[in-house]
């Protein structure tokens, strides 16, 4: 049931404010009154507050202090860097809040970047 570029869900008529205009691309739909090129209403005039994601590195110093212990675990157990970091995280030695898996991933990523000489961006 297509009328004037508007469609109805499951054949039931919708309120005009809920209707969607189908955009030029396949699978693209845009809220009524906006074009495909315009930003969504929640993006207009709202600026994200606080630092940019990845700029504040709160736990880098405490993570670097664990490098020796991380290498010892890797050498002793022949585990990968990620597995050794998870062992440290589950033992409560990695600083930070959240899941152990997230802390271990942060520690392993920092270790690998520092050891390979890659520059950290973010």
Domain boundaries, the chain: 2-35, 60-115
Average pLDDT of every residue of the chain? 78
Helices 67-77 and 100-116: angle between axes, nearest 10 degrees = 90
CB 103 within 8 A of CB 96: yes
User: Span 45-63, mean pLDDT?
Assistant: 87
User: Span 34-38, mean pLDDT?
Assistant: 59
3-state secondary structure of 86: helix
For 26-35, what is each residue's pLDDT tens digit? 555 555 665 5
């Amino acid at each position: 049931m297509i009328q004037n570029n508007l469609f109805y869900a499951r054949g039931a008529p919708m309120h005009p404010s809920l209707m969607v205009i189908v955009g030029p691309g396949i699978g693209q739909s845009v809220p009524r009154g906006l074009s495909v090129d315009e930003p969504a209403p929640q993006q207009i005039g709202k600026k994200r507050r606080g630092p940019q994601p990845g700029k504040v590195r709160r736990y880098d110093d405490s993570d670097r202090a664990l490098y020796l212990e991380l290498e010892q675990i890797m050498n002793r157990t022949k585990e990968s860097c990620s597995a050794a970091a998870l062992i440290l995280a589950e033992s409560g030695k990695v600083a930070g809040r959240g899941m152990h898996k997230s802390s271990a991933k942060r520690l392993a990523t920092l270790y690998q970047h520092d050891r390979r000489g890659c520059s950290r961006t973010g």
